[in-house]
Every structure is written in structure tokens, then in C-alpha cells.
Chain A
Amino acid sequence: MVQKAYNWNRFIANYGLLFAFLLAVIVFSLWSNNFLNWGNIQNILIQTTSLGVCAFGLTLIMMMGEIDLSYAGLTGMIGAVMLKMIMAGYSPASVVVVCLVIGIASGLCIALLVVGLGMSSFMVTLAAWFIYMGLERFIGHGVTHWIYKYDESILKIVQGHIGPLPVPVIIMFALFLLCWLFQTRTRTGQYIVAVGENIEAVKEVGLKAKLIKGATFVAGGLIFGLTGLIETLRIGGSMVYSGRFLLVYALGAVFLGSAAFKAGKYNFPGTLLGALFFYTIINGLTLNAVEFYYIPLVQGLFLILAVAITTVKRGEIEQVQF
């Protein structure tokens, strides 16, 4: 009997989010006729791309027990750099390369400070977020520029379709598969989780925990660089602080995801579902002409609810390490 009850609880814990997602889909499709249009579904998928990509990077870093908030500023800063380069007439390929290199460089700096000097990843990346926000203003002067006015060729990256799916969506799913397979099927991927769960044991076994951590931060930086690229192309220009909204969404998606499939643990399928869930809700509310100011309200509530599901049973206050 006890065993049965336990399994039932675990089933709810693992698949509760999936049912909530399906429920939201059903409610919205009854509420408005256009919700299940292929066009609208494509819309949701495209909107999810930058969040999804960003959240995968964050999942990777949170798996090893650290956090990285730099993406909230990095996305906007990369947007500003991209626009500067496009306006100066650089080729699309060089723009893409520079974005990714900025991401890697950011990841390297954070890895040096956090892994090399042993500083708290929360505080370092928080400061990085603030600094990137300042740099974004410095580079872009806080002016919104639209890409199509200068160079349309780079926009083709996001406007193209492969089969029925738009290219950004394919990038997101490809990255998802890559991360998921890497984490579950390769030894290095398993080490990352091991570092998060018991770093002492990893060191005892003779693995280079520091190297694994540093490499993960760099990989995260690369993914955040990609996020900045996709987000700027998706918007079609550089907007002030465009990465700011990602801060909450990505954390929310990762936490929601940790309440799905493998309850209590960060996992990529959960993150993907969490990201889709976020935009489904926003899209559903927008379709039904809900006032714009309810959206941050709903987002905040969702974030808190998503985290509370996993933490409410903990029974201990979690303090922040400085």
C-alpha cells in the first residue's frame, strides 16, 4: 500500500507539469479559435527559441550547482555589438563569429573568477550582468536600430524554413538534442551532474573538477552568445535591455523543468517543456487581449509557483552564498 502511494506521488511529481501544459493548451484552444492554428503554433515556437536556447545553457550550469546570470546583460550587449557591426557593413558570417566569441570570452572570464579564484558564482555573474548592461548602453547609446535598414542578408538566417519548421526552431531543437544526448549519454556529461551533486567525491575519484566546471561555464557562455544572436535576429534589431526579460523567463523555465520528468533535478526535457509552457501562457493571454500589464504579473507568479513546487517540502531556508 505504502509503496503504491509513493509511486502515485512520484508520478504526479514527474508528469504534473506535462498535464498542466496540456491543460493550458486545452483551455486556450477553447478560449480562442486561433490558438491551435499552425501559424500561431509556429509563432509560439519561434518566440520560445531564444528562451529555450538560453535556458539550456542555464540548465547546464545549474546542473553543476552553480548559477550564471550574465545572460541577462550579455544578450542585450551582443545585440548592440551586432548592430554596430552590421551598420559598419561587416559580413553576416563575421557577425555570427564575433557574437559567439564574445559569449566564449564572457564564459572564460566568469570561469576564471569563479573556478580560478573561488568567488561566488551568484555575485560574480550578478556584477557581470550589471556591467554588461552598462556596456550595452555604452556601445549602443540606448538607441533602437532595426537591422533591415542596413543589411537584410543576415535576417535570412531566421526567416528561412527547413521543411515546415522555421530555422530558429530547428536550431533550438538541435541544441536541445545535443545537450540532452551529451548530458545523458556521454561520460563528460555525467561528470557535470556529479560535480553538482558531490564535488568532493568527484575530486576523490581523481577527476579534474575544476576543469569540468570551467569548461561548463565556457560552454554556457557560448550558448548565451548564441542566445544573443538569435534574440537580436528574432526581434530584427537591438532594443535597450532586450535580455532583461530573459532573466526571469530562463530561471522560471529551468525551475519549472526541474519539477518535471525527473522531479527535483534539472533536466533538459523539463527545461524545454518549461520554456514552451511560458510562451504558451503568454501567447494564450495575448490572443485573448488580456492587458499587457498582467503579463509580468503572471510571469512572476509562475516563477514563484514553479519554484515553490520543488522547495516547499524542503523544510530549510536556503541562504545565498556571497
Chain B
Amino acid sequence: MNRSSSNLKKMHTLGKKDAISIFLIKYAVFVFFFFVYLAIAIYKPVFLNPANLADILLTSSLVSFVSFGLSIVFAAGGVDLSFPNIAGYGAMLSTYLMIEIGYPVWLGVAAGISVGLLIGSFNGFMVTRLYINSFIATLGTLFILRGFLYWLTGGQSMQILPQGFEYLGRGTILNVRMPVYFMVGVFLLCHLFMEKTRWGRQITLVGGNIEAARLSGVDIKMMTLLAFMICGLLSPLSGMLQAASASAAAVDIGDRFMVPAFAAAMMGTVIFQGKHVILGTLFGIIFVESLNNAAFILGVSPEIRRVVPGIVLLATIAFNYYAKRALSEKRIHAQ
């Protein structure tokens, strides 16, 4: 009795203070971003050089496609581990078709994207029809694709890529590399899809509260399948642009996306508490890649730089838990 009455009093007295602390918890990530960037910029002003910023944008853009795809799968309550190999398979298949078979560039790119869509559908099928946990199912796909990759190429890398294809990765418009434009375009498409279309909102609902989604008549299986298909569709873009900008495609071309994309997509899910995931993911990618870049400028050894995205991931998850707990406590008080 006593306790509840004191709680009642508290509810009335708290208000403005609560609003401030909710605001702080919600935007703590950005405060954190700001201080990190400030520290790096003060310590190494080179970091803010236009050439360096352009480099960060370029490396971010290569990872961005897999990250957007992954964050949409996250939003639907799944995980896709196969994206590095979807990216690799898309890149290897398209370059193989262009070099060995002599396909024109557009057809090679289209083939790469469609095979990604096919693999994504296969993932979605396993999750929605065979009811396999998405983590296990896509782990299986990861290995199957690795086998296919070696089968296709015999482990050899593709070296001399067609000019038109290389232009996609190395060409510039107004001194900005092409992948950056693709990133902006895909970002806008994904963002509008997740925010403004019915399917995008339904995907978010399925991941956020599957029971509510079921009760409101959302086709859960269809939306989960759709999320995996989108991830499959976007992943080859990262692989192909990576190949085009490096002028070579190797079997393990997608492996380097694994950890940064995971960290970025996880940040994207967390930054706005499960809303605006694509925007959040964009922040996440740029943050992870800036840290990587800053570590490079600061002369950190490459071995340590490999640990950085993993730690960012862990820190993001930890932050997520505190924010969730703190916010739910505050909301209960505020009501």
C-alpha cells in the first residue's frame, strides 16, 4: 500500500526530468558518435580531409547493400548468415559470365542479381515452409554456396574485367565514385519501402510483434519470405561493386563484409529502437567504416582493426539492453 502511494506521488512529480532522460537515452548513440568523431578529428585532423571522407564513403557504400538487406531481415525477426557468400556468388557468377562466356555487362549484372534473388528465396523457403530457424538455415546455405563457388571457378580468381563493368566501381561523376551513388539510390528505395509501403510496415510488424501481426491479418510467411528475398537481391550488389572497384573477383570476396555488415545492421536496428532501420543502418555503416578508417590513420595494426567491428557489435547489443530496460522503466513511471 505504502509503496504504491509513494509511486503515485512520483508519477506526478516526474515529468520534465523524465522527458530529458528519455531523450538522452534515445539519442545517446549520436552523442557518442559526436564525441568519437570530435576526438579523432582533434587528434588527427587528416581524418577530415575531403579525400579521406570520400574514401570512407566509398568503403561504406560497398558494405551498404548487404547491410541494408541484413537489417530488413533483422526487422522481420530473422538472421541471414549467408549474405557474404551470396555477395561472392553474385560477383563470381557475373564476372564468369562476362569473361568466359562473353555476356554483355548488363546481362552479367542482371544474372548476378537474379541468382541472389533465387538464393534469397531458397532461404525464405526454408524458414517459412520447413520452419527451420533462420540462423541454421542460412548457415547451411553459406556452406552450400561455398561448395558451388569452388565448383564454378575451381578456386581461381577473375582478373581482367570488362571496361564497362569496371566503370560501375571505378567511374566517377563529379569526383564521387559510382558506388556512392548506388548506395544513395538503394538507401532511398529501401527507406521508402520500409517506411511508406504497406509491405515494409508489415515486415517491421512481423519482427516487432509476431502475435500482433497474426491478429491483424498480416501474411507472416509471405512477409518473412519477402525480407529474405530482398536480402538476397541486395547482397550481390556489394559483391559485384567490390569486384568492379578492385578490378578483380576472388572466391572469398564477400567474407570481409561479414562482421561490419552485422555490426551496422545491428546498430541500425538499435539506434531508433527498432524504427527507421534503414536510416539507422546507414549511420551504422558510416560509423563502423569511419572507426576502421580512423584506426588505420592512427596506425593501429591490421590485426587489432579486425577486432573493432566485433566490439562495436557487442557494445551495440549491450547498449540496446540498457536502453530498452531504462525506457520501459521510465514509461511505466510516466504513465
Which residues of A are in contact with B by a Cβ distance under 8 Å?
Answer: 113, 117-120, 122-124, 126-128, 130-131, 133-135, 137-138, 141-142, 247-248, 251, 255, 291-301, 303-304, 307-308, 311-312, 314-320, 322
Report whether A135 and B139 are in contact in the complex, using a CB–CB cutoff of 8 Å. Answer: no
- Distance in Å: Cβ of B32 to nearest Cβ of chain A: 18
Residues on A with C-beta less than 8 A from B140 are 248, 300-301, 303-304, 307
Report whether B320 and A322 are in contact in the complex, using a CB–CB cutoff of 8 Å. Answer: yes
The distance in angstroms between the C-alpha atoms of A122 and B79, with both chains bound, is 11
Report whether B144 and A138 are in contact in the complex, using a CB–CB cutoff of 8 Å. Answer: no
Residues on B with C-beta less than 8 A from A138 are 301, 303-304, 306-307
Number of A-B residue pairs at CB separation under 8 A: 154
The distance in angstroms between the C-alpha atoms of A297 and B79, with both chains bound, is 21
The distance in angstroms between the C-alpha atoms of A303 and B318, with both chains bound, is 31
Report whether B150 and A293 are in contact in the complex, using a CB–CB cutoff of 8 Å. Answer: yes
Report whether A319 and B77 are in contact in the complex, using a CB–CB cutoff of 8 Å. Answer: yes
**B250 lies within 8 A of chain A by Cβ:** no
The distance in angstroms between the C-alpha atoms of A320 and B79, with both chains bound, is 7
Which residues of B are in contact with A by a Cβ distance under 8 Å?
Answer: 74, 77-79, 126-128, 130-137, 139-151, 155, 207, 210, 220-221, 224, 258-259, 262, 266, 269, 301-304, 306-311, 313-314, 317-318, 320-321
The distance in angstroms between the C-alpha atoms of A135 and B304, with both chains bound, is 7
Report whether A303 and B307 are in contact in the complex, using a CB–CB cutoff of 8 Å. Answer: no
Residues on B with C-beta less than 8 A from A128 are 314
Chain B residue nearest to A312 (CB atoms) is: B130
Residues on A with C-beta less than 8 A from B306 are 133-134, 137-138
Report whether A304 and B126 are in contact in the complex, using a CB–CB cutoff of 8 Å. Answer: yes
Indicate which residue in A127, A137, A317 contacts B317 across the interface (CB closer than 8 Å). Answer: A127
- Which of A113, A247, A293 lies at the interface centre, i.e. has the most chain B CB atoms within 10 A of its CB? A293
Residues on A with C-beta less than 8 A from B147 are 293-298, 300
Report whether B131 and A134 are in contact in the complex, using a CB–CB cutoff of 8 Å. Answer: no
- Distance in Å: Cβ of B19 to nearest Cβ of chain A: 26
**Would you give 9 A-B contacts (Cβ < 8 Å), ordered by A?**
A131-B307, A134-B304, A142-B303, A293-B155, A304-B126, A304-B141, A304-B144, A319-B78, A319-B207
| A117/B318 contact (C-beta < 8 A), A130-B309, A296-B143, A319-B78 known | yes
Report whether A322 and B126 are in contact in the complex, using a CB–CB cutoff of 8 Å. Answer: no
Report whether B318 and A296 are in contact in the complex, using a CB–CB cutoff of 8 Å. Answer: no
The distance in angstroms between the C-alpha atoms of A317 and B128, with both chains bound, is 6
The distance in angstroms between the C-alpha atoms of A291 and B151, with both chains bound, is 9
| A297/B126 contact (C-beta < 8 A), A117-B318, A137-B303 known | no
Residues on B with C-beta less than 8 A from A304 are 126, 130, 132, 136-137, 140-141, 144
The distance in angstroms between the C-alpha atoms of A301 and B126, with both chains bound, is 12
Known: A134-B304, A318-B132. 15 other contacts (CB 8 A): A119-B318, A123-B266, A124-B314, A124-B317, A130-B258, A131-B307, A138-B306, A248-B142, A294-B147, A297-B151, A300-B144, A303-B136, A318-B131, A320-B78, A320-B79
- Distance in Å: Cβ of B86 to nearest Cβ of chain A: 13
The distance in angstroms between the C-alpha atoms of A124 and B317, with both chains bound, is 8
Chain B residue nearest to A247 (CB atoms) is: B139
Report whether A296 and B144 are in contact in the complex, using a CB–CB cutoff of 8 Å. Answer: yes
Report whether A318 and B133 are in contact in the complex, using a CB–CB cutoff of 8 Å. Answer: yes
Residues on A with C-beta less than 8 A from B150 are 292-293, 296
Report whether A141 and B262 are in contact in the complex, using a CB–CB cutoff of 8 Å. Answer: no
Residues on B with C-beta less than 8 A from A319 are 77-78, 134, 207, 210
A-B complex: 10 closest residue pairs judged by Cβ atoms: A297-B147, A134-B307, A300-B143, A293-B150, A130-B310, A300-B144, A319-B77, A134-B306, A127-B314, A304-B140
Residues on B with C-beta less than 8 A from A317 are 77, 127-128, 131, 210, 220-221, 224
- Distance in Å: Cβ of B329 to nearest Cβ of chain A: 14
Report whether A297 and B143 are in contact in the complex, using a CB–CB cutoff of 8 Å. Answer: yes
Chain B residue nearest to A69 (CB atoms) is: B135
Residues on B with C-beta less than 8 A from A131 are 307, 310-311, 314
